[in-house]
Structure formats: C-alpha cells, structure tokens
Structure 1
Amino acid sequence: MKLIFNDATELTIQSADIQAGGNLLIRTISETPEKLKMLFQDTTKTRKMIVKEREDVLVTYENYENFYSITEYTGGIFGVAMCKKEDLPEVKAEIQNAAVMVAQIQAQELTDLQALQVQAIYPEWSEDGVEYAKDYKIQYNNILYKCVQAHTSQSDWAPGVAPSLWTAIANPSSSGTKENPITVPEMVTTAGMEYVKGKYYSWNEKVYLMNRVGMTDGESIILYFSPDTLVGQYFEEV
C-alpha cells in the first residue's frame, strides 16, 4: 500500500484512516520520525493525498494539510496524525471562545430570572479597567450581579464592596406572598437587593411587607438595607 502526495512523491504505508476525533492517522515503517515530520509538514505535498494498493485507488484525502503529531508503536511503526485547519486544537479553542463571547453578549438581553437559570454563561467580574454599562450582568464569588451605575472597574470597586455600583440578582425561589415570602440574603447590606412593592420578605424569621408610599404595586427599587431597618419607611412588619 502506498500514499501518493500531491506532488506525486510516494510513501509506503501500512494503513490510513480517519480517527474518532477527525484526525487522519497514517501508519508507516518506511521512514524515520525526522523524515516523516519533514514530509508531512510540507503543505504542498499534503494538500491532497491518495492511498493506492497496487494500481487501485482506495481513498483520497484532501485538506489534511496540518501536521499534528508522530506516535511510535511496537514493531517500529510510526503513526503520523494529520488534521484539517478547522480541527487544530488552537483553532477549535478559538471557535469555542468566540461562541462563548457571542453567548455572553446575547445573555445580557435576558431578564433577571432567565439570567439566573444560565448564570454560568456570564463573565467573571474583572478589576482591570473594564467599562461596565448600566444593567450589565457579571458573576463574582458565585453570585450574579447587575451593574447599577456605568463605571470603569478598579480593584476596590468589586461587587459586594461597592453597593452603589453593583446589586446582587436575587433568586426568586419564593413567590413573595405572605405565606411564601422572599428570603433576604445576609449580603444585602453590601450587595443590595431589588425590592418590589406589594411583595413579602423574610428576614431573621420575621415577615415584612414592602409598602413604600408613593410607589405602585410591582414597582421596584434597589436598597442596601434589611427590612427591619426600614420599618415605617419602606416596610411594615407582618
């Protein structure tokens, strides 16, 4: 069996087949690893390769131009792995990174509830001078945050530390009724929380109704206080 390169040069081989990962694996005992590497790194040769047995064409491989590796097997057999450009690990990684970036951009359009369901897609907060727009969502210490005020990040303006810039997006596991109030997290004083008029909240085993005068039912506001500290202003204890 022989492999005929695109420039008509030939190499005696034992086999050639496509592997599960998409690479073309060519096994041969005809040359040294150094010579094989030189042969298969020549893209002029590898652009098109034909496998023949006697004079019969068994298969033609095109565009497997990229040399990937050489593996030595028992019996002095060497396996040369070739792949298409789109199957190179670095190209696959680039495509995957691009897909993640697109998904992260699209995820910014989701509602807070939808965002919580796909939290892992959101980028981690960075202190390295990133310009964050209002309502931009990030995650930090496994908590999903939303930008309250547009700013350029710096190390001492981290979510949970700068409440005027970031607010945590609460998981509405409770309905906000008197019987099933929304639990206020302990981090409320640093991360903030979005309270909704007409909903009930639980804090330290007590229930509070958010009933701010001047707000309509369903209207929300971000506060950095637990309900018990704002009784008479924003809340009433039930």
Structure 2
Amino acid sequence: MADIVTMAKDELRAKGKADAAALAARAASGEANDQELLDNQSMIPTWRSRDFSQVPVGTPYQWEGVIYKLLQQHDATGNESWTPDTVPALWAAVSKPGETGTADNPITAARGMEYQYGLYYLDPEDSQLYLCTRTGEAEGGKVILQYLPHELIGQYFEEAGQ
C-alpha cells in the first residue's frame, strides 16, 4: 500500500512540475496574461540566486508575494542581493489586472514594477495615492523603478491624496 501512495505522490509532483513548466513557457511566449499568472501563483517558483542566462525572457518567478517576469537573461549565481525587487533592469513586477491607474482605481505599487507617467498608484507601505509624473516626460511613457512612490516624491511621483 505504501508503494501505491508513494507512486501517486510522485505522479502528482511530476504533473505539478509539468503544469508549472507549461505556464512558464506560455508566459515567456506572451500567451499567458498577468491575470493567469496571478490566478496560478502557487505554480510559479520562488526566485533564488541561480543562473538565468538560459531562462527565456518573460518567465515568471515570485519574490515576497509578488510575481516578477524576467526582463533580461543573466547569471545571479552567488548574488543573493540581486532579488527581483532590487534589480529593475532584470525584472518587472506583474501588476493586478483591472487596476486602471485612475484616481478612483489606482494601480497597487510594487518595487521593481513598470510605472507609467500619468497614472495613479497606491503605495502599499503608506496607503497613500500618488501620480506618476516627471518633468520632460510625456504621459504614457514608462519607467521601471525599484522604489515605491513615497520614496520618490518630487522625482517620479507627486502626492495625490487618499
């Protein structure tokens, strides 16, 4: 009986790995949208210091409860400080679909996310509303930042109330 239970567990593990690999491949090809990644977060592996030089761009990993997509292949072996929330050139946070970036429906900010000028963001650390704006930048332009809005007031954000 123990052999049957062990075989069933091994089969479930193999199916889980195959499903996770299929989701990662669909994310890298652009077939899986952000909502699908959020809905299947339990299938997305946690980031760890490793070699990402052969990992397809767009492959999702999670770090501290946030899903990030690989932007640039790199080798992070032995670089534990290269977490997705600290290296915006390598990773972009997945935002929650349905958040439109209006003052009434702001986007929840995250370290390492792609911000868009002219949109509103809710900072999860201080629960304040911020407008992404920068002198010389047109609305619609984008920038990936490793900081939250309250840390960049006057540079990339202005306070917009609650």
- TM norm structure 2: 0.66
SS state of the match for residue 176, structure 1?
A: coil
Matched, 1:168 2:88: no
| Matching residue within 150, 158, 167 for 2:83 | 158
Unaligned runs of 5+ in 1: 1-67, 71-80, 82-87
After superposition, residues 57-76 of structure 1 pair within 5 angstroms as none
Matched, 1:178 2:100: no
Matched, 1:142 2:65: yes
Query: 1:214 maps to which residue?
Result: 137
Shift of 1:211: 2.8
> Between Structure 1 and Structure 2, whose CA radius of gyration is higher?
1
| RMSD over equivalenced CA pairs, Å | 3.4
Does the 8 Å contact 1:104/1:123 carry over to 2? Answer: no
Match for 1:184: what amino acid? A
Query: 2:33 maps to which residue?
Result: 111
Runs of 4+ off more than 4 Å? 88-91
What is the CA–CA distance in structure 2 between the aligned matches of 1:93 and 1:207, rounded to whole Å?
44
What is the CA–CA distance in structure 1 between the aligned matches of 2:88 and 2:50, rounded to whole Å?
19
**Structure with the higher fraction of residues in strand conformation:** 1
Query: 2:113 maps to which residue?
Result: 193
Residues 143 and 175 of structure 1: CA distance in aligned 2, closer, same or farther (over 3 Å): same
Match for 2:122: what amino acid? S
- TM norm structure 1: 0.49
Shift of 1:69: 8.6
Q: Cα deviation per residue 1:66-94 (whole Å; 9 max; x = unaligned)?
A: xx899xxxxxxxxxx9xxxxxx6588458
Q: Cα deviation per residue 1:207-237 (whole Å; 9 max; x = unaligned)?
A: 22223333343x4321122334444443333
What is the CA–CA distance in structure 2 between the aligned matches of 1:178 and 1:226, rounded to whole Å?
17
Unaligned runs of 5+ in 2: none
Does the 8 Å contact 1:196/1:220 carry over to 2? Answer: yes
Residues 227 and 160 of structure 1: CA distance in aligned 2, closer, same or farther (over 3 Å): closer
Larger RCO (CA under 8 A, 6+ residues apart): 2
- Alignment coverage as a number of residue pairs: 149
Match for 1:183: what amino acid? T
What is the CA–CA distance in structure 1 between the aligned matches of 2:71 and 2:149, rounded to whole Å?
20
SS state of the match for residue 103, structure 2?
A: coil
Match for 1:159: what amino acid? P
Matched, 1:227 2:149: yes
Q: Cα deviation per residue 1:138-175 (whole Å; 9 max; x = unaligned)?
A: 12343211223220232423333444433332335643
Residues 124 and 183 of structure 1: CA distance in aligned 2, closer, same or farther (over 3 Å): closer
